[in-house]
């Protein structure tokens, strides 16, 4: 009976974590190139339940008790890399990638290495180099991209043409498994050991920005469902507490 | 859950800032050569939540992490051209291209503007070309521009070269040229109000117009309107308000969850 208390209690803790992730999605509905996170709740491993029951008097007896899972926890925070809506801005420095969400602009952060981003709201710095909003270098195939003013065109494969001459081609990194990327804040992602790079198959769109792919309606619905399931867990705890109350104060009365 | 409260409040703060930016754009719908601004956001730090029973060979992706909300990153100024308004006033100029006029501020700083609604100011040295506020407009070598001929005879061609029509109807060049400058990073320019911008290390130094990119051209008798699109701003305003509401709902929800947790113990 007391186990039920912990089951529901733990479930409430997991829902707390889920709420944190939902709130982050909602806070970033206007962040360019943001990719929403979703929480996968997993049951506790059934292994744990079996071990508790298999032992009697210190000897493993292997009596099958049946499968049982106590509560759940956040198993994975999964990032949806689906394409966000493209917004036309008429600014030649705004770029976005149109694909299934696997390709990224490559960004060089001095002293910290290479990062990847879907946020193509680029700028020119005082030296005329193409940089991100934070001032990090946007990489081309030949390194940092040096431009002469903001009057240039970017073709669909990322080639930058200024005054009729090819300046460079944007270094776009496409991953076979974008779910191996980690978020870093500042709209940047880092690759992990599992990341596999493949050839770029999408298109680059100049004068467009990719909006956040967090959808307000979906997040609101998730939030309502979460609140209600949080409430239900509380009810269960209260009921168990009530039963305990009866057992302790009424059954035990002499 | 406490984190959710702060995360959502970061979203509300960002949206407030967004509304500030949008309302400034709307307030300047009729300001000559005003360039609209757009607030840009980025996501905040992420923390990785560890899992005790994670297995080494399971190949689970490492992205068990939760973010801390959003923050304003920059306000990007959109320097796309506004539409041209024909004024038939000889002292109104519009720049087609990326250039800026240079102006001498009373603080002795040189500021830059695209607002070409110039006026004349009578000084001891002669009649001087100034901005509407009376600041001298400079030529390409940084000198004020004086006119000693009737205003309606002044002709400024596409390249900015000043000439005038004499009594016989002949065009006489004065050899002076209105200064037009460009910047590597115009978005880095610091807006100082009064339609003026100041150069700084972020924008790079002013470069004579014809040394960088396509040369700008000047149109006499025209003014550049603000590039604010009211419809676009209204749509942004609606989006910002809804995003603000969304985040406030997230705060209410987190609060309600805390209240539920508090009511666990009767």
pLDDT, one tens digit per residue, over B144-197 is: 998 887 777 888 888 888 888 888 888 888 888 899 999 888 888 898 988 999
CB < 8 Å to B60, chain A: 76
Would the CB atoms of B212 and A148 count as touching at under 8 Å? yes
Residue A53 has pLDDT above 70, yes or no: no
Cβ-based burial of A220 (10 A; exposed 0-12, middle 13-18, buried ≥19): middle
Residues in B touching A180 (Cβ below 8 Å): 61-63
| Complex ipTM tops 0.90 | no
User: Which among A90, A149, A192 has CB closest to B182?
Assistant: A149
**CA of A228: which chain B residue's CA is closest?**
B257
Does pLDDT of B53 surpass 50? no
What does the angle CA A251 – CA A252 – CA A253 come to, to the nearest 5 degrees? 95
Task: Name every chain B residue with its beta carbon within 8 A of the beta carbon of A249.
Answer: none
Inter-residue contact B101 to B182 (CB < 8 Å) = no
Best mutation target among A7, A10, A20, A38 (most B Cβ atoms within 10 Å) is A20
Q: Which residues of A touch B263 (CB under 8 A)?
A: 234
Q: What is the pLDDT of residue B55?
A: 54
DSSP B105-127: -TTS-EEEE--EE-EEEEETTEE
Would you call B214 and A133 a contact, using CB atoms and an 8 Å cutoff? no
A155-208 pLDDT per residue, tens: 999 999 998 899 999 999 999 988 888 888 889 999 888 889 999 999 999 999
pLDDT single digits (tens) B184-232: 888 888 989 889 999 988 888 888 988 877 888 999 999 999 999 999 9
The two structure tokens encoding residue A185: 């804040």
Are B11 and A26 spatial neighbours (Cβ–Cβ below 8 Å)? yes
Give the start-to-end residue ranges of the domains of chain B: 1-79+227-265, 82-223
Please state whether the predicted TM-score (pTM) of the whole model is above 0.90: no
> Confidence band (pLDDT; 50, 70, 90) for B237?
very high
Beta carbon pairs, A and B, within 8 Å: 214
Between positions 143 and 182 of A, the ones with CB within 8 A of B are 148-151, 163, 179-182
In chain A, residues with a C-beta closer than 8 Å to the C-beta of B260 are: 230-231, 234
Percentage of chain A beyond pLDDT 90 is 49
- Rounded Cα distance between A137 and A192, Å, is 21
**Range A23-31 average pLDDT:** 92
Determine whether the interchain pair A24/B80 forms a contact, defined as Cβ–Cβ distance below 8 Å: no
Q: Is A86 on the interface with B (CB under 8 A)?
A: no
- The pLDDT of residue A10 is above 90: no
Contact in structure between A173 and A84 (CB atoms under 8 Å): no
pLDDT for the residue numbered B52: 42
Q: Which of B55, B61, B75 to mutate to test the interface with A (most CBs of A within 10 A)?
A: B61
């Amino acid at each position: 009976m007391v186990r039920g208390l912990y089951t529901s209690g733990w479930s409430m803790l997991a829902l707390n974590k889920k709420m944190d992730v939902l709130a982050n999605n909602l806070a970033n509905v206007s962040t360019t190139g943001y990719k929403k996170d979703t929480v996968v709740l997993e049951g506790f491993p059934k292994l744990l339940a079996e071990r508790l029951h298999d032992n009697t008097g210190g000897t493993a007896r292997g009596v099958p008790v049946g499968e049982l899972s106590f509560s759940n926890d956040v198993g994975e925070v999964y990032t949806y890399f689906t394409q966000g809506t493209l917004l036309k801005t008429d600014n030649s420095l705004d770029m976005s990638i149109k694909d299934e969400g696997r390709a990224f602009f490559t960004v060089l952060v001095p002293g910290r290495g290479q990062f990847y981003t879907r946020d193509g709201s680029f700028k020119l710095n005082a030296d005329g180099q193409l940089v991100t909003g934070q001032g990090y270098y946007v990489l081309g195939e030949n390194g940092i991209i040096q431009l002469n003013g903001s009057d240039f065109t970017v073709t669909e494969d990322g080639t930058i043409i200024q005054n009729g001459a090819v300046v460079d081609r944007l270094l776009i990194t496409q991953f076979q498994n974008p779910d191996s990327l980690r978020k870093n804040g500042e709209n940047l992602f880092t690759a992990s050991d599992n990341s596999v790079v493949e050839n770029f198959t999408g298109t680059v769109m100049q004068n467009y920005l990719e909006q956040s792919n967090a959808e307000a309606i979906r997040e609101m619905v998730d939030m309502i469902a979460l609140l209600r399931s949080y409430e239900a867990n509380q009810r269960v705890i209260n009921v168990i507490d009530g039963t305990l109350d009866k057992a302790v104060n009424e059954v035990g009365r002499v | 859950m406490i984190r959710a409260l702060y995360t959502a409040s970061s979203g509300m703060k960002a949206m407030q800032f967004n509304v500030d930016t949008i309302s400034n754009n709307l307030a300047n719908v009729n300001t000559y050569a005003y360039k609209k601004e757009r607030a840009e956001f980025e996501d905040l730090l992420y923390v990785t939540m560890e899992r005790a029973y994670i297995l080494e060979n399971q190949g689970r992706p490492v992205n068990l992490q939760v973010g801390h909300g959003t923050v304003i990153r920059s306000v990007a100024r959109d320097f796309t051209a506004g539409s041209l308004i024909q004024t038939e006033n000889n002292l109104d100029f519009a720049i087609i291209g990326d250039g800026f006029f240079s102006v001498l501020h009373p603080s002795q700083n040189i500021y830059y503007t695209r607002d070409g609604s110039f006026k004349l100011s009578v000084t001891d040295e002669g009649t001087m070309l100034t901005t509407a506020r009376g600041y001298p407009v400079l030529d390409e070598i940084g000198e004020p521009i004086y006119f000693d001929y009737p205003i309606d005879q002044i002709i400024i061609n596409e390249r900015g070269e000043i000439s005038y029509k004499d009594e016989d109807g002949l065009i006489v060049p004065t050899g002076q040229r209105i200064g037009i400058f460009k910047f590597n990073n115009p978005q880095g320019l610091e807006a100082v109000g009064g339609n003026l911008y100041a150069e700084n290390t972020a924008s790079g130094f002013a470069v004579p117009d014809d040394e960088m990119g396509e040369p700008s051209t000047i149109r006499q008798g025209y003014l550049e309107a603000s590039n604010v699109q009211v419809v676009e701003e209204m749509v942004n305003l609606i989006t910002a308000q809804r995003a603000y509401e969304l985040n406030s709902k997230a705060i209410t929800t987190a609060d309600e969850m805390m209240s539920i947790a508090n009511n666990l113990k009767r």
